[in-house]
Amino acid sequence: MNRKYRKTVIAGNWKMNMLASEIKPFMEELKANLPKARTCEMVLCVPGVMVPAMVKAGKDCKVAAGGEDVSCFEKGAYTGEVSASQLADVGAKYCIVGHSERRQYHGEDDMLVNAKARALLDKGIMPIICVGESLEQRESNLTMEYVAYQVKAALSGIDASQLRRCVIAYEPIWAIGTGKTATAEQAQEVCEGIRAVIRGIYGARPARAVSILYGGSMNAKNAYELLAQPDIDGGLIGGASLKPVDFATIIKATDQG
């Protein structure tokens, strides 16, 4: 983290877990375990249908609500889709785009991820843009090349003032839901590389200001070391964000003096 230049963000991704009716008890337990001093921005990204309940329950302890996906279209005959304006209208402040599970199970490509990020920015929602390599790519030493390509594609047509409202999340696919975390060195190396790619496009200042998160089996035990890395500005957390005490512990790990 480097709080002098950028904000620290701890974002949960509930994926397709939990029920709207479980949000209130979750938030009560989270609140009871949160530190008094705020050292990060707290976000919980939930299925679209649960966003209103999260907005309401999150107010008390200042947890922002986010979506997990959005349509790239503005409005119209797109049955089943949820638009950026609809998310904004119910109070979402963030939305994940380009998660590897969407890329894998729904065939989302980099152009679509870019279109979704731009749709969100147009409506004042901050996109959390996910990138990350597969195990095969890592083992073939293609990690940085591939991640750099994803970052450039996702940011295509986004100007420096819009970049200030984007968050990047580095999530190596092999670390998601596997219990196999990237080492702090591996995660730092790629996050630093992502910042260098952004510096190449936008220059030093915007690159210094963008928050880059790590995601992939981040938990209450490994969060402190990961967050101690200079280019890791927070976490995008799946499994551990479903447990209020663990999520609170990760939030506390952002308090590093």
- Identify which range of 119-127, 136-144, 182-190, 236-244 contacts ligand 13P by CB under 6 A: 236-244
Asked if 217 touches ligand 13P (CB under 6 A), the answer is yes
- Could you tell me if 212 and 233 are in contact, meaning their C-beta atoms sit under 8 angstroms apart? yes
One residue of 47, 132, 216, 244 binding ligand 13P per CB under 6 A: 216
Asked if 218 touches ligand 13P (CB under 6 A), the answer is yes
Rounded Cα gap, residues 68 and 146, in angstroms = 23
In the residue annotation, 106 being an active-site residue is answered as no
Rounded Cα gap, residues 117 and 30, in angstroms = 29
What is the closest distance, in whole angstroms, from the C-beta atom of residue 169 to ligand 13P in the complex?
A: 7
- Could you tell me if 219 and 190 are in contact, meaning their C-beta atoms sit under 8 angstroms apart? no
Count, residues near ligand 13P per rule CB under 6 A: 14
Tokens of 193: 């590389």
- Identify which range of 16-24, 110-118, 201-209, 210-218 contacts ligand 13P by CB under 6 A: 210-218
Asked if 69 touches ligand 13P (CB under 6 A), the answer is no
Asked if 98 touches ligand 13P (CB under 6 A), the answer is no
* Interior angle at CA 175, CA 25 and CA 152, nearest 5: 105
Residue with Cβ nearer ligand 13P (155 or 237): 237
- CA–chain centroid gap for 242, Å, is 15
Residue with Cβ nearer ligand 13P (83 or 241): 241
Listed residue (251, 224, 254, 253) closest to 44, CA to CA:
251
| Active-site residue identified among 41, 108, 133, 171 | 171
Residue with Cβ nearer ligand 13P (12 or 193): 12
Kindly give, in sequence order, each residue whose CB lies less than 8 Å from that of residue 198, ignoring residues fewer than 6 positions away. 151, 155, 163, 168, 206, 207, 210
Task: Sort strands 9-13 and 234-237 into parallel, antiparallel or unpaired.
Answer: parallel
**Which residues contribute to the site for ligand 13P (CB under 6 A)?**
13, 99, 171, 176-177, 215-218, 236-240
Catalytic residue numbers read 99, 171
